[in-house]
Amino acid sequence: AWQQQKLEKERWKANAKLELEEMLPKATGREAQMEKKVARRQEAKEREASPDMGRLYGGGDIMGGDDSFAAAKARMQHSQQRRNQRQNVHREKVEDKADVARAREEARMAPFRALLAGGSITIPKREPN
């Protein structure tokens, strides 16, 4: 019984859709494009005329009218502090790497310096073959 009702309902919907299409045919091609363009233009005019046009979601204004100079200056100072902190961390990492490289180089050169500290080094001449 319910299947029969569902089938009748679907037929009725399809029939209503066809009747509506016959009474009010949809625009096609260029006419449809023109109607859509007019509708978009009308929506844009309504949106521009709306008093909420210049407002942002969290309050505030698109043009930034809610900010004071002091707040902007504080934001700028805070970002400068963060930048300096990041630079200091980076500089410390680079200096640590340089210290490790210097220590490694010193360890490599220590035997040669010890050899030189004992006096001059004589290198024997090669014997001809």
51 pLDDT above the threshold of 80: no
Q: What pLDDT digit, counting tens, does each position of 111-127 carry?
A: 989 888 888 888 889 98
Residue 53: per-residue pLDDT = 63
Digit-coded pLDDT (tens) for 10-37: 999 999 999 988 888 888 889 889 999 9
Grouping H, G, I as helix, E, B as strand and the rest as coil, residue 27 is coil
What's the helix, strand, coil split of the chain in %, to 5?
70, 0, 30
Q: Looking only at Cα atoms, what is the longest distance across the chain?
A: 116
CA distance 57 to 13: 41
Q: What is the pLDDT of residues 72-98, one digit of tens each?
A: 899 999 999 999 999 999 999 999 999
Residue 14 C-alpha from the chain's centroid:
47
**pTM for the whole structure:** 0.39
